[in-house]
Structure formats: structure tokens, C-alpha cells
Chain A
């Protein structure tokens, strides 16, 4: 297998972008990544696009070809493939691009992630997100997406004594980080009191425990590591890539509080990178709900099972903590355009490893991890990045 490097990154503003269309957003992210990579565009062998539900959100399927078209590649006829794995669609697209270069099939690949969720109303958006759960055996009976994560939270509190305050501290931390990120949907810190007293959505999760509905796109250019120097001096290497799956329905899992797909994907990535969780300097994890970040830091091996809440309370995961988590603001504050999220996580870690994260720069960051989850944990993708 060949080594693969990230040579270009691009990210749009995340938020409620009423004046921008689906195609404008992805073309903007792709153009930024190409400019950043120092390539002309002609070198690109293939394209992968992550989108969860463009059909339901903007009424447009067949977006692999569409994105190649609006990005100006229609005359080159490059293979362009759309990848779907609910909220992990972006991370899966990155992994497909990575595998295609590692295998020797391609030399340079562009990966995009996109979701435009505000073109439909709130009810419609919620129903579309619920399609990531088991429609016949969960959603049919009234289980909502926040409801599923609320049940994980309730059990986590019961088994390990995790508190509502610890959940709120995840949101407070991520908003503090998002306030330093110019691309974030919410560039505003929130108080612990505000987070704890927010409108109840699904007990124990309030509005401030939930990531928002967002529009946005992200893109990266991947390149075989041995030719990356031709294009850029600031490339970052992908040293591990892992993916895992689990039962679609939460109720069928081995353990309600553990995302075994995360454990599997993490182990696969650590093994390939020949490192342990201790070697990770910072991580972008899938905090679609505050409890999800607590489970993630446990399942990725940063802390023991059940100690995630305490770790947050002890400020281990803040920007100046021993393991900063979600320096971008995470899904909670940066925003969560679902198909874009997995790609945007790679953009953040790449910026950090290049030393370009400005006010949210983590000192001496050399190895970073991204963790992208689909549904309530049926799909997970993990990548480990290192300064080249």
C-alpha cells in the first residue's frame, strides 16, 4: 500500500446560508481545496462526494456527476462517485479516496462533502435525519434521533454516574472553541447555566445538547505521498484509516453505552498507524449530541469506559487541556451539514498540524485523529493524521 498525503483543504462558511445553493457551496469548497493544493486541476484522477440525503434535502440525486460538472470537470470525464453512510458520508468519502490512492489506482483525488439542510423546513429536516435510524423498528414507534442519543445518555448516567452538568460542559467547551473559528455557525460562547436550562428536546438532552441543522461544504485534495512534494511543502500524511459497522437499531447492540463501530474503526486505524491512543495530540470527534462526545473519547481509548464525563469536567479536553477535543467547535458549534462533517473534520486537523489554526492552535500538534459517526453508531470512520 502507498502512503497518502493531504495536499489541499477547502471549507465554506457553515450556517443558515439562504443566499447559496447546494452546487455553489460544493464548487466553492472544491475550488478552495484545489487552489490550496497548488494544482491546476488537470492532475485529478477521480472524485468522491459525501452527501447523506441530497434527494430529500434539495430534491437532487445523482450528485457525484453534478459535483464533477459544477466543479468544471465535465470535459475531463473523471470518475466521480457519491458515497452515503448517513452522518458519516463525508468520512466515508475521504476513506474511499484514500483507498483508491493507497491501492495504486489513482495518484491525485479530490474529495468533497456537502449538505444543504435549510432548503426544507425544520420538521422535514428532522424526519430526514431520522432515516439514519431503523425506520421499521425504531422511528415507526416514535423514536426520534435525539431520543436515541437521549437513551444512551440516560443509561450512561445510570451505569456511570454521568451528570447533566457534564453533558452541558461539552457544549460550553465546544462553543468556546467555535467562537474562535471564523467558519463556525455559532461564533458565540455559552454559559453553563444557559446550556443546562435550555428547552428540553428528549430527556435528559436539551437544545444545547444537540448539534444544529446546517448548510455547508468541505473539500480536500489527496495525493500519493511520494509525489506530494511536487505540489506543496505543507502536506499532512494519513497514517491510519479505519471503518466499522454495527446493528442499525440501537436496541440490538451489545452495549447501549458503547459504540462498537467506533471501537472497531479506532483499533483498525491505531494498528495501521502503529500508535496507541496516548500518542494522539488532538481529536475531532462526532458530537452530534453532547453524550456522543463523551462516548467517543471512551470508545477511542482516550479514557476508560464510564470516565468520559469526569474527563470533560476535569477540563482534559479543552483547548489548553492535555487532549484538546473538537478545537473547531465540533458539530455543536461549528455546525453539522451532515455530508460535509467528516471532510470538515479532516480540514480542521490539517490546519492544526500545519500550524494554521490561529487563535485555536494547539501547541506542538503532530498527530491528530478524526472520528465520524453515522446514525446512532451503525457506521464509524476514523482517520489518523501526522505532520509529514
Chain B
């Protein structure tokens, strides 16, 4: 079903590099990038500039998925969270490199480039961001 839907394999640079955009009028930052700022609307048209996010943020909420779609079956149980990035926007992503039971609201996390899903055994691989706990330096 999915392999013939372009949105899954189309090149979406924002998915690999966490590039959002910023309203040239109020300076609010968005991810994913928006065509217009919902606050400034017409004042923002033509003034939206690319903005590279630093990939750091904290967990607003999360869940552990126990019943998932076919493409994610092998990963069950896996965690999904909403992360509030330092620059303002919130995004949805998996939390990896830690046990589900160790995930907490307000925990600090950072983005990491990973494989997200694959079309069957030998099909196209889709990449994107996941998040992992920020390592505490000794």
C-alpha cells in the first residue's frame, strides 16, 4: 500500500536535517516548515526563512505502543513522544536508546538520524529523526 504513495519516499529534507522555518514578521519558529505564519498570516507571506533547529528539547508527553501498524510490528513495544524543541516547536518522534520504563515527562532528549521504516523485507528504507536521552557528562 505505502510504497506507491509518494509522500513516503519523496525527498523531504526537513525529515533528515530538522530544518524548520522562521516568520520574518514575528520571528516565531516552526517545524515542520509552514507556508505562512498562523499568527501574522498575510504579513508573513514571502517572509518565511529556513531555520536549522539544534535538535534538543524535552518530552511533553509520551506513550508506549503495544499494538502497532504492520510496518512497526517488529519494534513493538516502542515509544512515541511529543518533544518540545528548545526553539519552540513541538514534534512527534520515537524515543530510543533507553528502556521504555525510564522515559519520563520533562526528560531532556536530542535528535538522532535513524531508519524509521521499510517496505517489506527488501523494500525501500525510509529515514528520519528519532530522539534519545541527552547524555549526562561525568
| A binding-site residues for B, Cβ under 8 Å | 123, 126-127, 130, 135-144, 146-147, 150-152, 154-155, 158, 199-205, 249-252, 256
Digit string of B44-62 for contact with A (CB within 8 Å is 1, else 0)? Answer: 0000000000000000111
Q: List 28 A-B contacts (CB under 8 A).
A: A123-B70, A126-B69, A127-B1, A136-B7, A136-B32, A138-B92, A139-B69, A142-B65, A142-B68, A142-B75, A142-B78, A142-B94, A143-B80, A147-B63, A147-B80, A151-B81, A152-B61, A154-B62, A154-B63, A155-B61, A158-B61, A201-B66, A203-B63, A203-B66, A205-B63, A251-B82, A251-B91, A256-B61
Contact B93–A141 (Cβ < 8 Å):
yes
Number of A-B contacts (CB under 8 A): 97
Residues of B with C-beta under 8 A to A139: 69
Given contacts A249-B92, A250-B82, A251-B91, contact A144 B61 (CB under 8 A): no
Give the distance in Å from the alpha carbon of A203 to the alpha carbon of B76 in the complex. 12
B interface residue count range (under 10 / 10 to 19 / 20 to 34 / 35 or more): 35 or more
**A126 and chain B: residue at smallest CB distance:** B69
Task: Enumerate B70-88 residues with CB–CB distance to A below 8 Å.
Answer: 70-72, 75, 78, 80-82
**B63 and chain A: residue at smallest CB distance:** A150
Contact A142–B116 (Cβ < 8 Å):
yes
Contact B69–A250 (Cβ < 8 Å):
no
Contact A143–B64 (Cβ < 8 Å):
no
**B12 and chain A: residue at smallest CB distance:** A136
Contact B92–A143 (Cβ < 8 Å):
yes
Contact A130–B69 (Cβ < 8 Å):
yes
Counting CB contacts under 8 A, is B90 at the interface? yes
- Shortest distance between the CB of A260 and any CB in chain B (Å): 12
**A203 and chain B: residue at smallest CB distance:** B64
**B105 and chain A: residue at smallest CB distance:** A158
Task: Enumerate B113-138 residues with CB–CB distance to A below 8 Å.
Answer: 116-117, 126, 128, 130
Contact A137–B32 (Cβ < 8 Å):
yes
Given contacts A151-B62, A158-B105, contact A144 B67 (CB under 8 A): yes
Digit string of B102-120 for contact with A (CB within 8 Å is 1, else 0)? Answer: 0001000000000011000
Residues of A with C-beta under 8 A to B64: 200, 202-203
Residues of A with C-beta under 8 A to B32: 136-137
Contact B8–A140 (Cβ < 8 Å):
yes
Contact A151–B69 (Cβ < 8 Å):
no
Choose from A142, A152, A249, A250 the contact partner of B72 (Cβ within 8 Å). A142
Choose from A135, A136, A137, A202 the contact partner of B65 (Cβ within 8 Å). A202
Give the distance in Å from the alpha carbon of A203 to the alpha carbon of B105 in the complex. 14
Contact B67–A154 (Cβ < 8 Å):
no
- Tell which of B8, B62, B116 has the most Cβ of chain A within 10 Å: B62
Give the distance in Å from the alpha carbon of A136 to the alpha carbon of B89 in the complex. 16
Give the distance in Å from the alpha carbon of A173 to the alpha carbon of B39 in the complex. 42
Contact A141–B60 (Cβ < 8 Å):
no
Residues of B with C-beta under 8 A to A135: 7
**When A and B form their complex, which 6 residue pairs have the shortest distance between CB atoms, in order from nearest?**
A150-B63, A155-B61, A203-B64, A251-B90, A151-B61, A251-B82
Give the distance in Å from the alpha carbon of A249 to the alpha carbon of B117 in the complex. 20
